[in-house]
Amino acid sequence: MQSLKTAEQAVRQMWSFSQALDLALVDEEIRKGLKVEVGYQHGERVGYISVRLGDVLGLKGSDLFLLLMAGLMHDIGALGAFADAHGQTKMMELHSQLGAEILRDFPGGEKLYAALLYHHKTPLTKPDAPLMAKIISLADKLDLILPRRKTTYQERADILNRIRARSGTEYYPEVVQALERVADEEAFWLYLSEDNLLSPTLDFMFYSRKEQDCLDYDGICDEIRSRSFVDKLGVIFAFLIDQKSDFTGKHSRRVAENAYKLAGHLGWSEEDRKDIMLAGLLHDLGKLAVPQKILDKPGVLSSSEIEIIKSHTYYTYNLLSAAGFARHIIEWASYHHERLDGKGYPFRLSANDLSIGSRIMTIADMYSALTEDRPYRDGLPAEKALQIIAEGKGRLVDSELFEVARKAFL
């Protein structure tokens, strides 16, 4: 059924961006700030737990989908909050506010806004919180106390007793009751011990239900998959990527704009130029997996640190592939450190493997990096930057495309 296919694509898309956030949250400094080991899959696990609880509490169709999205994205404000409130008690409130504002521009934005704004509230501080916020509040805290392995019967009983004891103070009673119902299911706990929660989530939301029950997903999922929203998502994540490090400023945005400009000088259609701009916005998505202390290191990187930095294009490739982006956008975004002579990374591709779009992205990335101000140096003038890039003609960059870049940037 086409509607289910669109719905599944929408979930896969948001799931992949949740994984990008989770990669950022395993950063050593972020874990220190939270004083808990969040690790991989936190957003995914909160999303899965939330839809299981939401189903028991009567949420259906688009509301259940929005709950999943809120669970997957509930920490989207954390990257911004760490810059201003690292290790401070106001961290929870600040990242909730930032995340709520970001998701307000999503489809179903007002419900998502309220869900994120109040997801760290309790029955004592916000007794009238929206149901989605109540659910995410418990799902978030449950995941933080769950071990990252298969739990024993006694461990599950202890966890439930701990939550029951705080019902009405830390947890909302109706959500605790929903958890008790879900917790009777052995598979609920077993899924949470597995690496792959996407499959059981898709099965629960779509394929274990009657077709009629899934029809209400259509509108919201069509919006999530729309080009206008995907472009907006690109801008949001470009902002999150760049603010992780003081060294990168607005790098992703500048790469996107320079790639768009180059494509225009080549006579590309507006549709193709928008594609390469989107690829530029997301080309460093994998940098969310690189620890900030390496990105911001003022001195020379060690060989092991260089290898970690170089892994970012690998993560970009995998995240965009999992999100279901068109093949050409994936390649343009992920191949910007490949070289014509085959000595680039991460795939060691050579000239025969690199399209014009990928070659544009390489020049746009290099030119943007050289001309941007960084904390440790001023940006270079355009002429000097192009002189440096010219040294790599035929090896790093396409010679003919370089001449186009010279005309575009001077």
Encode pLDDT of 333-363 as tens digits.
999 999 999 999 999 999 999 999 999 999 9
Angle between helices 270-282 and 356-371 (to 10 degrees): 50
Say which CATH architecture domain 2-225 belongs to.
Answer: Orthogonal Bundle (1.10)
For residues 72 and 46, is the Cβ–Cβ distance under 8 A?
A: yes
- Give the CA dihedral 214, 215, 217, 220, nearest 10 degrees: 180
- Tell me if residue 335 falls in helix, strand or coil: coil
CA-CA distance, 396 to 162, in Å (whole number)? 58
Q: Any idea how long the chain is?
A: 410
Q: Helix or strand or coil: residue 247? A: coil
User: How far apart are alpha carbons 191 and 284 in whole angstroms?
Assistant: 31
Query: Does residue 223 or residue 88 have the better pLDDT?
Result: 223
Q: What percent of the chain has pLDDT over 70?
A: 89
Is 1.20.1630.10 the CATH classification of the domain at 227-409? no
**Where exactly does CATH 1.10.3210.10 map onto the chain?**
227-409
Q: What does the mean pLDDT of the chain come to?
A: 89
The letter for the amino acid at 29 is E
165 Cβ contact list (under 8 Å, min separation 6): none
User: Which residue has 């965009």 as its token pair?
Assistant: 320
Beta bridge partners of 377: 374
Digit-coded pLDDT (tens) for 178-236: 999 999 999 999 999 888 899 999 999 887 766 555 556 667 888 888 899 999 999 99
Q: How sure is the predictor about 85, in pLDDT bands with cuts at 50, 70 and 90? A: low
| Spatial distance between the Cα atoms of 74 and 89, rounded to a whole number of angstroms | 18
Q: What is the dihedral of CA 118, 123, 124, 129, to 10 degrees?
A: 40
Among residues 370, 395, 392, the alpha carbon closest in space to that of 380 is found at: 370
- What's the pLDDT band for 26 if we cut at 50, 70, 90? low
Please say if the pLDDT value at position 39 is more than 60.
Answer: no
